[in-house]
Amino acid sequence: MSEYRVKELMVPLSEYATVPVGSTLFEAVLALEEAQEEFDHTKYKHRAILILDKNNRVIGKLGQLDVLRALEPKDENAEKIGELGQFGFSPSFIHKLRKQRRLKAAPMKDVCSKASKLKVEDFMQTPSEGEFIEAEAYLDMAIMQLVTGPHISLLVTHNEEIIGILRMTDAFAAVFHTMKECEI
């Protein structure tokens, strides 16, 4: 399994969905769709968009969960409900409050329309220390980082530049392939 190197499994940056900082969520989703259409060498789809600064350096990652998070109703109650956990309120009570709040919110179509105009930088995740991996690293190191993160993808670096992305599905496919070889 260790014979696989990250650079053999990663998706190069040029083939991945990227948008410049300042883009809207809608522009990010279009970029994802476009990248998916052009990217046909695997059946697994991209699940994130990388955000680039004006020097084309990756400064953040916008996942599907981040886009869904943008659809959550935004009011001061959201923060308050989130805080109740530290005051000893039960998870079921907090869930009930969230449900009530969702029912009072605008219809889904209106929410989507409004959210599509929001900026990507307000919802993207800034990569943390354990989310980078060297292109020359072996697969077992990548698996360790994916599991301990846990992360759904890692940013692949070479000479301190981000050159690609290693998705959990890429690592899983390599593991699956190795397992099959062992059985044969």
Partner 1 sequence: MNELEKLLGRIIQRINVNLRELEYDVSPFIKNLVPLNQMVKFHAFYGITPNHSLDFLFNHSNLAGSYFLGKIQVRNSILYKSDIRGDELKSKGDVFHYQKFEIPITTDEGIDIEDSFLIKTLVHNFSHDPETLEKFFIRDTITSHYANIHGAPMDGSFLGPFSTVDLTTMRDCVIGAFSYIQAGEVDHLNIEPGTVWVRSPDDFNFHYRYPADRLKDYICFDKGAPPKGLFIDFVEDRKEDFGQLFNVFNIEQPASVPESSSLNRFSVIKPKTYISENVMVAQRAYLENAWLGKGANAQEQCYVINSRLDGFDIMAHGAKIIETNLGENVFVGFNSFLRGRTDSRLTVGRDTIIMPHTIIDTKKPLAIPPGHLVWGLITTPDELESNSIALEDLSKIDAGLMKGNMSFEGSGAVFVNAFRERIHHILEANGAFFDGKKNRGHAQKNQNISFNTIQPYPDGELQGLYPAIVIQP
Interface ranges with partner 1 (CB under 8 A): 80, 84, 86-90, 93, 96-97, 100
| Cβ partners under 8 Å of residue 90, min gap 6 | none
CB of 82: closest distance to partner 1 in angstroms? 12
Residue placing its CB nearer to partner 1 in the complex, 92 or 128: 92
Contact 165, 9 (CB under 8 A): no
Instruction: Render 35-93 in DSSP notation, one character per residue.
Output: HHHH--SSSSPP-EEEEE-TTS-EEEEEEHHHHHHTTS--SHHHHHHHHGGGGT--HHH
Residue placing its CB nearer to partner 1 in the complex, 36 or 90: 90
CB of 94: closest distance to partner 1 in angstroms? 9
Residue placing its CB nearer to partner 1 in the complex, 87 or 107: 87
CB of 73: closest distance to partner 1 in angstroms? 15
CB of 131: closest distance to partner 1 in angstroms? 25
- Rg (the chain; Cα; Å): 19
In what helix (H) or strand (E) does residue 97 lie, and over which residues does it extend? helix 91-104
Task: List residues bridging with 50 in a β-sheet.
Answer: 18, 61
Residue placing its CB nearer to partner 1 in the complex, 69 or 80: 80
Residue placing its CB nearer to partner 1 in the complex, 87 or 181: 87
CB of 88: closest distance to partner 1 in angstroms? 5
Rounded Cα distance, 19 and 48, in Å: 11
> What does the block give as tokens for 168?
């959990």
